[in-house]
Amino acid sequence: MKSKANFRPAGAICLVGVFATILLFMVSTVAWADEPKPVQLSKPRTADSPLMQILAKRSSARTFSPQPLPMNVLSDLLWAANGINRPDSGRRTAPSAKNMQEIDIYVATAEGLYLYDAKAHVLKPILQGDIRAMTGTQAYVKDAAVQLLYVADDSRMGTLKEQDKLVYAAADTGFISENVYLFCAAEGLATVVRAGMDRTALAKLMKLTPDQRIVLAQSIGYPKK
């Protein structure tokens, strides 16, 4: 019969340590075997479809030729941006949160400032004269033939919380802006979306109401040769 004097705590601790190490090794080996591996995707087929070709060309440009846009190009640009593509329902080329359609596009050209009325597909005159240079703080802004100003109308967003209004208006503007980017890539036009501007001065110049907020601007023109 073993006496209590034979019990060796150091030996027992050592044995527990060995078991713990083996267990840890087994657990880590199992975890390593289950580690998900990166999935290698196939090469993008950028030449295979018109959309993929256009996406491959999408980019921002900051040098513009002063050449004006022909009327049919401006007309197509605005329809692509946020025109009505389903006349039965009046829905647009760009999605909008809850279909609120709260973003208006103001168009500044050498002739004046206009509001794009998507329903009638007309440019409503707002101001006479060239305000393009005042639509941004960047030196290149004055050179581009057209400046688009994306303006959110809070009165069309009902009783949403203030933060939701800001998020939805920013997201909805992003979709319109990307439509413009893709149109420009397809048509060989230069474009850049812009946040840099004096919003207070510009809102005053554009005679915006207290419900209207300028979200972003976008310069469009022919590329400088």
Residues that bind ligand FMN (CB under 6 A): 59-60, 62, 138, 192-196, 216
How are the residues of the chain apportioned to helix, strand and coil, as percentages rounded to the nearest 5? 45, 20, 35
Which CB atom, from 112 or from 223, has the smaller least distance to ligand FMN? Answer: 223
**Least spacing, CB of residue 122 vs ligand FMN, in Å:** 28
**Least spacing, CB of residue 138 vs ligand FMN, in Å:** 6
Q: Is the dihedral of CA 179, 185, 189, 195 positive or negative?
A: positive
**Least spacing, CB of residue 220 vs ligand FMN, in Å:** 13
Which CB atom, from 85 or from 138, has the smaller least distance to ligand FMN? Answer: 138
**Least spacing, CB of residue 188 vs ligand FMN, in Å:** 16
Which CB atom, from 123 or from 149, has the smaller least distance to ligand FMN? Answer: 149
- Pick the closest to residue 104 from 95, 122, 116, 113 (CA basis): 116
For 20, phi then psi, to 5°, come to -60, -40
Sheet holding 103-108, edge to edge: 122-128, 112-117, 103-108, 146-153, 212-221, 190-194
**Least spacing, CB of residue 136 vs ligand FMN, in Å:** 7
**Least spacing, CB of residue 95 vs ligand FMN, in Å:** 17
What amino acid is encoded at 94 in this protein? A
Which CB atom, from 131 or from 197, has the smaller least distance to ligand FMN? Answer: 197
- 3 state DSSP class of 170: helix
d(Cα 147, Cα 132) in Å, to the nearest integer? 6
Which CB atom, from 58 or from 121, has the smaller least distance to ligand FMN? Answer: 58
- Pick the closest to residue 177 from 151, 155, 145 (CA basis): 151
Q: Which residues sit opposite 192 in a β-bridge? A: 219
Which CB atom, from 53 or from 138, has the smaller least distance to ligand FMN? Answer: 138
